[in-house]
Amino acid sequence: MSVRVLAVVLAGGRARRMGGRDKALLELGGRPLVEHVIARLRPQVDALILNANGDPGRFARFGLEVVADPVAGHQGPLAGILAALDWARRRAPDVGWVVSAATDTPFLPLDLVARLLEAVHREGTALACAASGGRTHPVFGLWPVALCGALRTALVTEGVRKIDLFTARYPLSVVDWPARPADPFFNVNRPEDLAHAAARLRAGGDGGPLSPGQDRGA
């Protein structure tokens, strides 16, 4: 199958509110947090990579290529998105789009990619991002590989760090998901969030294939 859409799981953050631990590897329902994200994204795309800094060997069990930020100093999610766009441009020339997702959102929608793609084609926009509960989630975005050079300039030369500041330069589709009965973009920032996610998983409130005891397939 021709590769058209690449997903990147952004695991390059330092997780200060989790005591500086590697958030991606925190356990939820007996599986690393990132494994839940991988399992939900993998069926939606043609290829999947992981963006993380430091020793890539700690992610070897997931069988994904690990791509580090192309700029030093932990410059935020835009650096991880640039890493994915640059990887696609160099390694997968048939990829036209990159979908980015956070590593701490274990209930992300199973129709994330389809709806973001549908929005840009329907509305004729350059980019798309997700929203729920009256809030946008710019980390969950759809990015054309053709913007690789522009993003590099914005990040490296202009010092742009916030996703919103970059996407404001282009027509953007915002795709809304219902936040009730449970927000699919709930993210784990603090220890109490991890406990809440575990309770939600046990209750089967994830809306997808990751119920306890099932094979996550990642």
The domain segmentation of the chain, as residue ranges, is 5-202
pLDDT in tens, 79-102: 999 999 999 999 999 999 999 999
Average pLDDT in the 96-110 region? 97
Residues 159-174 have pLDDT tens digits of 999 999 999 999 999 9
Q: Is the pLDDT of residue 176 over 90?
A: yes
Report the CATH superfamily, name and number, of domain 5-202: Spore Coat Polysaccharide Biosynthesis Protein SpsA; Chain A (3.90.550.10)
pLDDT in the model for residue 218 = 26
State yes or no: pLDDT of 117 exceeds 60: yes
- Cβ neighbours of residue 76 closer than 8 Å, sequence gap 6 or more: 161, 162
Q: What is the mean pLDDT of the chain?
A: 90
- Give pLDDT, residue 211: 34
The Cα 145–Cα 3 span in angstroms is 13
At residue 205, the pLDDT reads: 67
pLDDT band for position 73 (50/70/90)?
Answer: confident
Q: What is the 3-state secondary structure (H, E, C) of 173-211?
A: EEEEECCCCCCCCCCCCCHHHHHHHHHHHHCCCCCCCCC
- Per residue in 130-142, pLDDT tens? 999 999 999 999 9
- pLDDT surpasses 70 at 213: no
Q: How does residue 217 score in pLDDT terms, banded at 50, 70 and 90?
A: very low
Instruction: Tell me which residue has tokens 């640059």.
Output: 86
pTM of the predicted model as reported, rounded to 2 decimal places = 0.90
Distance CA 184, CA 194 (A): 15
